[in-house]
Amino acid sequence: MLGDEVSKPKSVGTTLARFWGYFKRYRLGLLLVAVLVVAGTWMQVRTPDLIGQAVDCYLMPASTQALGVNLGAAEEGASANCWFDDVPADASTSLLIAGLGSLMLIILALYVGAALVGGLQFYLMSWVGQHVLRKIRVDLFRHLHRLSIGFYAKQEAGDVMSRITNDTDTIQQVLSFALVHVVQGVLLLVWIAYTMLSKSPAYALLSLVMIPLMYVTTWWFSSQARKAFRQARVEIGSVNADLQENISGVREVQAFGREDENIEQFRLSNAANRDANIKAASFTSALGPGLEALGYVSMAIVVGVGGLALIGDGQLLGSTISLGLVIAFLTYVQRFNQPIMQISMLWTNLQNAVAGGERIFGLMDTEPEIRDKPDAIEMPQIEGRVELENVSFYYSADEPVLNGISLTAQPGQTVAIVGPTGAGKTTIINLIPRFYDVTAGRLLIDGHDVRDVGRHSLRRQIGIVLQDTFLFSESVLENIRYGRPDATDEEVIAAAALAKADSFIERLPEKYDTVLGERGSGLSQGQRQLLSIARAALADPRILILDEATSSVDTRTERLIQGALQKLLAGRTSFVIAHRLSTIRNADQVLVLNEGEIIERGTHDDLLAAEGFYHDLYMSQFRYGAELTAEDPEQGAS
């Protein structure tokens, strides 16, 4: 899992500000969304007022005329605030009905318009949100390629993948739906409050008396939900890490009969994820009913206070109260409660998105351990002189790996590095292409400190064949061409022939066009290694690194490619790590490492003659091979 410095929670404002950095390029679309939000909000605010006017301006006068009764303040001066100002107070019933019909058509048009505007703003926001989501994923993927090898040595691949997939999915709904509804809800609340205060300040204040309590309730539940959602994002990362690890290692799982144990571990990871999501859902589900109950209290206040005023003299703290105003305020409060509930529910979703955004931006903020200097130069064409000057390296402060290593490889020389497991062989070859930086000392290539040159200009002139070969789910042709995309098909085929891979490629169903499975499944380990050697041959590097390049092929195949390797190594500075000491007899110099130090150096023959550490290693392998041959001639030959 990512460390605390990466996963440390940020504030909602900080995370939303990071999101805004992605939205800025779509200002025109957002401006149009804003216009639609204002138009839709105006339509929603206007309809309750028109409903109140329908009561005071048309229904009440019509009722007065029909019943012949005096309804007091409700009818006095009603027409003064009507949509159609030319409606007289003593208008005929037919005129009132006509006016009411016209007003109903206007109300209907506003409802239809609000629905159309809402649909259009949802589409535009979805369009903007999807483009923003794509940019976030691309930026995150680009950043992952800039992170150093050391980062991936410490982190679980499944958790990193979860940040690209699951965590970005959590913000998708917010970017395309929830965010615009929150903004519209806030605008609606402000507009309704202003409208109510302009009509009757005292009545409005009494109607909105529950708002502070609603705010406190929303704030507390949201803060708790954000903590729960953040934990849920961490747990789903663990689930993905377990899933990725067990699928990748399914062969080992089945070989050691660990299915039941792994299933139990996965069950526990899922249980933790379930519990975290249930906890988050409990806060989310409790918030809605709580706000709804407070909303009903507000509606009761509106009806109770307004009803008492109507029963009396129609006055409330100096304001005139009519039946239409009571109905309008009742509709306003209902409308007011709806965005509050909607915002509160969407706010919990926003907490989930913020939790995902914290993990995404936390990963983006992870600084690569290996970076180019601001004044880094392009590495010129490499001749191949490699020097390590008193180099030491530590993976951590208390974990020394190399101590005072010094060596010089002249252009075209082959340097073999041997020693027991953990001696530091692989660390040396990781320093040359600058996968790691030296802790002390200097590593020079053609006199240039590798820390002073651009990484890409350095690495494109270095070829690497690793013990653990990685092939992509592409054709054989494209896998070989990976290190040199502009190579022709003929050059790819020539490289395959050089690596002695052409014979088995020709037996594949589609030959060079055969699409390989994940990590080259369907090929033997030796065949995958041959393709890796062909890839390095095609790239034509000036410095070549072979890390147990022939360890996965049998002795017969190894003999076949030794000649190809000699051609491949010719004219190049090469560093070869090999446990089979018989494969490095022709090396120009052999370095013997033990516990991070070079304890012997020389040619193969010189070191044998010295009868030291190297001599003991070589003779132990020779005796072991002789014992295998005596027990099983076929095995010894293979």
Measured CA angle at 598 (ends 593, 600), to 5 deg:
90
Range in 57-61, 141-145, 414-418, 588-592 with the lowest mean pLDDT:
57-61
More confident position, 620 or 315: 620
The residue assigned the tokens 């009519």 is 322
CA distance 1 to 239: 11
The residue assigned the tokens 């739906």 is 177
Domain ranges of the chain: 4-364, 373-461+584-638
Binning pLDDT at 50, 70 and 90, where does residue 466 land?
A: confident
Q: Which of 482, 373, 348, 425 is nearest to 617 (CA)?
A: 425
CA 419 to chain centre: 41
Contact indicator for 388, 407 with CB cutoff of 8 Å: yes
Helix (H) or strand (E) holding 429: helix 425-431
Q: Which of 448, 455, 380, 399 is nearest to 147 (CA)?
A: 455
Q: Do domains 4-364 and 373-461+584-638 have the same CATH topology?
A: no
Residue-level pLDDT at 482: 82
pTM over 0.75: no
Contact indicator for 170, 356 with CB cutoff of 8 Å: yes
Q: What are the distances in angstroms from CA 227 to CA 7, 11, 351, 352, 358?
A: 13, 12, 8, 9, 12
Residue-level pLDDT at 533: 83
Q: Which of 543, 550, 540, 556 is nearest to 581 (CA)?
A: 550
Amino acid letter for position 291: L
395 phi/psi in degrees, rounded to 5: -75, -35
CA distance 217 to 227: 16
* Pairing relationship of beta strands 315-316 and 319-320 according to DSSP bridges: antiparallel
For the stretch 568-585, pLDDT in tens is 777 788 888 876 666 677
For the stretch 485-512, pLDDT in tens is 888 888 888 888 887 788 888 888 888 8
Give me the CATH code for the 373-461+584-638 domain, please. Answer: 3.40.50.300
Tokens representing 305?
């206070």
Beta-bridge partners for 590: 416, 602
The residue assigned the tokens 């290996």 is 370
Q: Mean pLDDT over residues 550-560, rounded? A: 64
Beta-bridge partners for 594: 597
Hey, CA dihedral for 125, 127, 129, 135, is it positive or negative?
negative
pLDDT over 70 (residue 476): yes
CB within 8 A of 315, min separation 6: which ones? Answer: 73, 309, 321
* Pairing relationship of beta strands 597-602 and 589-594 according to DSSP bridges: antiparallel
For the stretch 295-309, pLDDT in tens is 778 778 777 877 777
Hey, CA dihedral for 185, 191, 192, 194, is it positive or negative?
positive
Q: Which CATH superfamily is domain 4-364 in?
A: ABC transporter type 1, transmembrane domain (1.20.1560.10)
Residue-level pLDDT at 84: 61
For the stretch 328-384, pLDDT in tens is 777 777 777 667 766 666 666 676 777 777 778 888 888 878 888 888 888 888 888
Q: What are the distances in angstroms from CA 368 to CA 42, 337, 375?
A: 50, 49, 17
Q: Mean pLDDT over residues 30-35, rounded? A: 83
Across the chain, what does the average pLDDT equal?
Answer: 75
Which 8-state DSSP code applies to residue 601?
E
Residue-level pLDDT at 6: 39
